[in-house]
Amino acid sequence: MRIGVVQTNPGFGEVDANLRRVGELLASSRADLWVLPEFCASGYQFASLEEVTALAEPVPGGKTTAWLAEFARATGAYLVAGLPERDGNCIRNTAVLVGPAGLVARYRKVHLFGEEKRWFSPGEEPSPVSDIGLCRVGMMVCFDHLFPEAARTLALAGADLLAHPANLVLPGVGQLTMRVRALENRVFTATANRVGIEARAGEPLRFTGESQIVSPRGDVLSCLPKEGEGVLVEEIDPCAARQKAINRWNDLFADRRPDCYRLSP
Can you tell me whether residue 102 is helix, strand or coil? Answer: strand
Long-range contacts of residues 11-15, Cβ cutoff 8 Å, at least 24 apart: 11/43, 12/42, 12/43, 12/44, 12/45, 12/198, 12/200, 13/42, 13/43, 13/51, 13/55, 14/43, 15/41, 15/42, 15/55, 15/63, 15/64
Q: Is 38 a catalytic residue?
A: yes
Contacts of 124 (CB under 8 A, 6+ apart): 108, 110
Contacts of 59 (CB under 8 A, 6+ apart): 65, 83, 85, 87, 94, 96, 103, 106
Q: Which of 51, 57, 85, 109 is catalytic?
A: 109
Q: Is 223 a catalytic residue?
A: no
Specify the DSSP class assigned to residue 49: H
Q: Which of 38, 85, 116, 234 is catalytic?
A: 38
Q: Which of 40, 51, 142, 198 is catalytic?
A: 142
Catalytic sites, residue numbers = 38, 109, 142
